[in-house]
Structure 1
């Protein structure tokens, strides 16, 4: 079994950050004590060619949990934002129920490492749109860090749906968007499952339009 250390725990008032109008605990709380065993992309089987292919449906990603449940991440259509919820199992979208053969594709080994292990979520780093552009409970993008050092970055602003990337992608996204226009001002925040659920969170700093500012740090003028 992989026993390498994950990201260091952060406790106290700095462990949960977010603005007053975004409840990070309510959004990411389902990840607390959730052992992740796989990352699943839903899709349908295309049998028209010489070999059957699974065509992913890119707007949803599932995290399969050790207790049999699933965390579902959805791209909010047309908004470039993500939502997170818990569900019992992957489900075929209604528009594909009648004509398509539903399937899921396992991507866990790309981001988790050894798929025989159960991987606890140790940190979520996430970015929020400006309050005027943000939908309730939605976030712009997020990086999940796992117990044995794996990382999963999810960005819904991709032509085919949610882009999945590994370690380093979150930093690249920040560098790319720090001075670019968008739905900003963007702010950067973090959620840690080790923190008490009722920990007061300092508000994130406001960045210039299109920029990204770390929580608690003033953006350059």
Structure 2
């Protein structure tokens, strides 16, 4: 298992040299008369054309998301000792309209709990060519809340706090 790239600027640089081919959500199959997929909403992945993944993980109910580059999708450490078998669902059809997109910009917010050197930010949005976007909000009770266009702006407008800072990286 690769420890991954954690420094946010390194992750942004890697994304800028690649294209996103899928948005993946790990989970497991529930054994019942009708097979059901039970998602693990604490972690999501952007699959890159290079074969690597951008791992997005909600950090321990802290309202922060850790963004790293990893070589493969692994079972979450929280599953250790469980009998679950990892399966992955594609969410591409919900957020992207074609097989591959280049990320043209990344917006993120930091606050006192963030640590961009470790890849930890308050929230993050990936803006794709063609005006598609994926907003990742770790403040959802069940892990990461993934949303599309307009969600970043709504998130900003819904905040009363002033102790955070917005960042933008155009790729």
Taking structure 1 as the reference length, the TM-score comes to 0.68
Matched residue, 1:198: none
Structure with the higher fraction of residues in strand conformation:
2
Measured at CA, do residues 141 and 106 of structure 1 come closer, stay the same or move farther in structure 2, by a change above 3 Å?
Answer: same
- Which of the residues 158, 167, 171 maps onto 1:189? 167
- Contact preservation (8 Å) 1:39, 1:64: yes
- Contact preservation (8 Å) 1:28, 1:84: no
Taking structure 2 as the reference length, the TM-score comes to 0.87
How many correspondences in the alignment?
162
Q: Could you say which structure has the larger radius of gyration?
A: 1
Structure with the higher fraction of residues in helix conformation:
2
- Which of the residues 101, 107, 115 maps onto 2:91? 107
- Which of the residues 19, 41, 45 maps onto 1:35? 19
* Aligned-pair CA distance for 1:27: 4.6
1:140 aligns with 2:122: yes
Q: What is the RMSD computed on CA atoms of the aligned residues?
A: 1.7
C-alpha distance after superposition, 1:125-176 (max 9, x if no partner) = 111113xx32343110011101222100000000111000000001110110
1:50 aligns with 2:33: yes
d(CA) in 2 for partners of 1:83, 1:163: 14
Gaps of 5+ in 1: 1-22, 194-221
Measured at CA, do residues 103 and 77 of structure 1 come closer, stay the same or move farther in structure 2, by a change above 3 Å?
Answer: same
The aligned runs of 1:1-221 (5 Å cut-off) are 25-47=9-31, 49-96=32-79, 98-114=82-98, 116=99, 118-130=100-112, 133-135=113-115, 136-177=118-159, 179=160, 181=161, 185-193=163-171
